[in-house]
Structure 1
Amino acid sequence: MRLFAIRDYRRLFGAQVIALFGTGLTTVALGLLAYELAGPRAGVVLSTALTVKMVLYVVIAPLAAAYVDRLPRRTFLFLLDAARAMVVLALPLVTEVWQIYVLIGLLQAASAAFTPTFQAVIPDIVPDEADYTRALSASQVASTMESLLSPVLAAVALSFLSFDRLFLGTSAGFLASALLVLSTRVPDARPGDRATAWERATAGIGTFLGTPRLRGVLALDLVVAAAGSIVVVNTVNHVRAGLGGSRSDVAWMLAASGTGTLLAALVLPRVLDRVAARTVMTTGAGVLVGGTAAAAALAAAGLLTWTGTAIVWTAIGIGTALVITPTGKVIRSSVGRNAVPGAFAAQFSLSHLAWLITYPVAGRLGTDTGFTLAWSVLAALAAAGAAGALLLWPRHDGQDLTTGLTTPARHGHDTNRSALTRAA
């Protein structure tokens, strides 16, 4: 592929992939650490730690996008990776729950700044428009693959290592990512055309709130978060306490969800050539609503066995891929090229608002009242998000995305409508 012939992109992409897998392995190990420290209340600990993560993502990502053009970006990315390596190295030494919150706060603050900075670098090292689009897609594929392979790698490692050794491996991964960044020629950014940091930080958010199809994407983010919280927060308690499984079983059950994601990702490129992104994404929302409802119903009936859990978790993975994979295409078709990094940073930040709602429901409510009520609430939130997406995202607007039309939709519904009229 011509894209990977670009030396600097190849190395920077490698750094991103290594960092992604480091984050994925850390998530698995963190769940097991929470269970070691808190036992049956591990869901509360994990959901609180992940809520801290979401708050930082919502706040820091837009600020990083706003100030990234004023920083030496290669040095900044290197320092962020180095900071994550040191934080992860300290996690096995944790003996109190509050220490998890502090370290996770530091880790996720660095991660929240890394992603928008990385996205802002891509157009400067990949100048060709077609290659730039492929680079954005490659980043999405890497994220999809991480969701499958991280739990699998963790399951294999846990077969002969204690879970705290996973932290050592992820720390080494972040250091490798930092060295790859340091070997990349990343040009310093040109100052943006917006006068204030506030304008730069809120530009992408304004685009999302002012564009019908992107408002629909935000509603779908709630669906993904509602279903995903069940998998991320509750798997460790459900497998260890409910099913009597081992640490490796936790990782393999997480991998079931990742398998669903991969299966959908393999067929989606061909599907998206023929089917509207809106149709694919709302179908995925339907799958996720069904998955969360099935989880609640099976839990209420006491029938969420190993097989039932694996089936539901796989369905959630499939639905997640159907919603998330086309998102980049929708964003790119909605803004001009110069606004793409800001739009992706806004999606990164705003999507985590949904997780900020659903993580406490899955963790605290699930621990205090049981999975049945918590998952029923999450199923209701997923249904509300799916209904909201259907109302907010006009059918004709989504259908047009299959034609390859790319119109700057930064001025809301009227802009989209006029563009469609001209195209007709």
Structure 2
Amino acid sequence: MRPQSPTRLFAIRDYRRLFGAQAIALFGTGLTTVALGLLAYDLAGPDAGLVLGTALTVKMVMYVIIAPLAAAYVDRLPRRTLLVLLDAVRGSVVLALPLVSEVWHVYVLIGLLQAGSAAFTPTFQAVIPDVVTDESAYTRALSASQVASTMESLLSPVLAAVALTFISFDLLFLGTSAGFLVSALLILATRVPDARPSAHTRAWDKAAAGIRTFFRTPRLRGVMALNLVVASAGAIVVVGTVNHVRDGLGGSQSDVAWMLAASGTGTLVTALALPRVLDRIAARTVMTTGAGVLVAAATAAVALLATGLATWTATAVVWTAIGIGTALVITPTGKVLRASAGRHAIPEVFAAQFSLSHLAWLITYPVAGWLGTGAGPVLAWSVLAVLAAAGAAAALLLWPRHEGTAPTLVTAARTTDRSTLSKAA
């Protein structure tokens, strides 16, 4: 096989198609996120936060349960066929969302949709190292996937805001469905190698392997705590925006999307600037700084509501700060995960992070939705700010400072690789 150049990642045809499939599906999912919030408001009005919080809680339950099982069985199934089928299922479910007339219909369809997404993501992540075989190029591929996610968080709300100027929100679901269709076609045109059998013979062993790695690795325990920080501040934006903009600020459907785009702008700009920063500054320093930004932003959000100073400009500034803090924490995470596991353990570790990060959202979404509706957003956001502060403090304690340097991470990766090879021998 001709060696792959780390500087020509997108010259790899199969990776280029897979990346395109991921990016298009992400944008479709982003449109669904905006449309779902507006659908909840259309069905429940002032109780939209409760509906949206419950729907997103259902989503997190699916992710936490199904993602590890998908990672466990991914080496037993034809991966290309599985990815295409999951895209088809998700596209079909999204088409049904505009037809719902009862709140419980939303919960059932979201459960089906997110079950497909929970199986798709670890399967997709497991394919990448088999398509991109060069070590340096693989690291760049992880970064590119993260940039695609941050681009979605910015551009999807912007596209939704523009579209809502001309169409009703229910037509956004058609855009999502089309995205899943295009994603499936790109995967069909890609050569996806068969999975290599895992060293673990039992499904549960494979599902639990990545989680065990998290609990026995100090820096990964720090990452778990940082997941709570991101989810706490992020829940204020994801769940709280629709009611805050529509009821608190008197905005329109399009205004909801633009306010979400403010957070996405902070995420995107920061993510694009971080690669050079990470060459000079340890990941631990960058990520804990991001945690501090998120704690401050969540506290500022509470202050805006409590003092009655929640203007358009002030809200946009706080939302942008949450986006910046999110990027500071999330962007280096792939690098930390990659440096904490041998090559053959990477899918398991990434699947574990997928589930553990969504477990944090499973905690914060009900707080934002259920407590926010029952006791008011000031109390709900105050609890979220406290959770963010607790997560930030735990990260500082669990992640030793000496493990935050890039040389330490590289050494750990090499040690893990040698250990893996020794066990295999």
Report the TM range for the smaller structure's normalisation.
Answer: over 0.9
What's the Cα RMSD here? 1.3
AA paired with 1:92?
P
Match of 2:289 in 1: 283
AA paired with 2:104?
W
Please point out which of 43, 47, 50 is paired with 2:49: 43
Match of 2:406 in 1: 401
* Alignment pair present for 1:333 and 2:336: no
Q: Is the 8 A contact 1:277 1:402 kept in 2?
A: no
Please point out which of 75, 85, 98 is paired with 1:79: 85
Match of 1:162 in 2: 168
Q: Is the 8 A contact 1:57 1:108 kept in 2?
A: yes
Match of 2:321 in 1: 315
Aligned length: 411
Match of 2:254 in 1: 248
Moved more, 261-270 or 91-100: 261-270
Tell me which stretches of 4 or more aligned residues in structure 1 moved more than 6 Å.
Answer: none
Q: Which aligned pairs between 1:3-402 and structure 2 lie closer than 5 A?
A: 3-398=9-404, 400-401=405-406
AA paired with 2:152?
E
Query: Counterparts of 2:379 and 2:236 in 1: how far apart (Å)?
Result: 12
Q: Is the 8 A contact 1:334 1:406 kept in 2?
A: no
Deviations 1:224-255 (CA, angstroms, capped at 9, x unpaired)? 00000000001000000111100000000000
Query: Counterparts of 1:47 and 1:294 in 2: how far apart (Å)?
Result: 22
Moved more, 301-310 or 181-190: 181-190
- Report deviation, 1:364: 1.0
Query: Counterparts of 1:275 and 1:304 in 2: how far apart (Å)?
Result: 35
Q: Is the 8 A contact 2:226 2:392 kept in 1?
A: yes
AA paired with 1:247?
Q
- Report deviation, 1:393: 0.3
Runs of 5+ unmatched residues, structure 1: 416-424
Query: Counterparts of 1:65 and 1:5 in 2: how far apart (Å)?
Result: 28
Q: Is the 8 A contact 1:11 1:180 kept in 2?
A: yes
Moved more, 1-10 or 351-360: 1-10
Match of 1:422 in 2: none
Q: Is the 8 A contact 1:89 1:168 kept in 2?
A: yes
Query: Counterparts of 2:244 and 2:152 in 1: how far apart (Å)?
Result: 23
Query: Counterparts of 2:258 and 2:212 in 1: how far apart (Å)?
Result: 40
Query: Counterparts of 1:409 and 1:218 in 2: how far apart (Å)?
Result: 23
AA paired with 1:405?
V
- Report deviation, 1:408: 3.8
Match of 2:423 in 1: none
- Report deviation, 1:404: 6.3
Deviations 1:46-102 (CA, angstroms, capped at 9, x unpaired)? 000000000110010000000000000000000000000000000000100000000
Query: Counterparts of 2:133 and 2:283 in 1: how far apart (Å)?
Result: 26
AA paired with 1:144?
T
- Report deviation, 1:266: 2.1
- SS of equivalent residue, structure 2 residue 171: helix
Runs of 5+ unmatched residues, structure 2: 1-6, 420-425
Query: Counterparts of 1:240 and 1:54 in 2: how far apart (Å)?
Result: 25
TM-score by length of 2: 0.95
Q: Is the 8 A contact 1:216 1:390 kept in 2?
A: yes
- SS of equivalent residue, structure 1 residue 274: coil
Query: Counterparts of 1:298 and 1:172 in 2: how far apart (Å)?
Result: 39
AA paired with 2:294?
L
Q: Is the 8 A contact 1:274 1:402 kept in 2?
A: no
Provide closer, same or farther for how the CA distance between residues 238 and 210 of structure 1 changes in structure 2, counting only shifts above 3 A: same
Determine what percentage of the aligned residue pairs are the same residue.
79
Moved more, 109-118 or 191-200: 191-200
- SS of equivalent residue, structure 1 residue 304: coil
- SS of equivalent residue, structure 2 residue 279: helix
Q: Is the 8 A contact 2:336 2:409 kept in 1?
A: no
TM-score by length of 1: 0.95
Provide closer, same or farther for how the CA distance between residues 406 and 18 of structure 1 changes in structure 2, counting only shifts above 3 A: farther
